[in-house]
Amino acid sequence: MSGVRTIDGRDLQPPEPLERALEALDTLAADEELVLLLYCQPQPLFNILRTNGFRWQETIQDDGTHEIRITKA
């Protein structure tokens, strides 16, 4: 893994977290990871990831933060 890019969307109003995530996905390298922090489960993003060949792992932290780690499949 050459690098990790993190987007903390917890203080951003929709659709800004999704906009930033899409911009990052556009240029995500094969050996890069995108970490997205949110207070909700971003189903619209999951649909986009599913249809564009990305895989992701989601964990929910104690404070309700959803941590989504995205890489190219």
Partner 1 sequence: MHPNLSFEQAPPISVPYRFFLTAPWFGVAAGLLLAWLGEDAFASRWTPGILAITHLLVAGFMLQAMCGALLQFIPVAAGGNVWKPRLLAACVHPLLILAAALLVTAFLTTESRLFLAASHLFALALGAYVLVVGTALVRTPGQGNTLWALRFAVVGLAVTLILGVLLAQALGGLHSLSLIEVTQVHAAWGLGGWALMLVFGVSYYVVPMFQLTPAYPAWLAKALPPAMLGVLSLWSFQLSGRVDGWQRGVFIAGLATAGVYAVATLYLQAKRRRKVSDPTLVLFRGAMFALLAIFASGLLFVLIPSLGEEAMAPLWIGVLAIPGVFVSVISGMLYKIVPFLNWLHLQQLAGLTQVPPNMRQMIPERAITGQMRLHFGAVAAMLLAVPVPSLSRAAGLLFAASCAWLGWNLVTGVRAYLRFKGRILAADSGHES
Rule CB under 8 A: choose which of 3, 4, 29, 64 binds partner 1: 64
> Which has the closest alpha carbon to 59: 48, 70, 47?
70
H or E element at residue 67: strand 66-72
Q: Which residue, 45, 42, 52, is CA-closest to 73?
A: 52
Binding mask 20-49 for partner 1 (x = CB under 8 A): --xx-xx------------xxx-xx-xxx-
Distance CA 3, CA 42 (A): 23
| Least Cβ distance, residue 3 to partner 1 (angstroms) | 18
By the criterion CB under 8 A, which residues form the site for partner 1?
10-11, 13-15, 18, 22-23, 25-26, 39-41, 43-44, 46-48, 51-52, 63-64
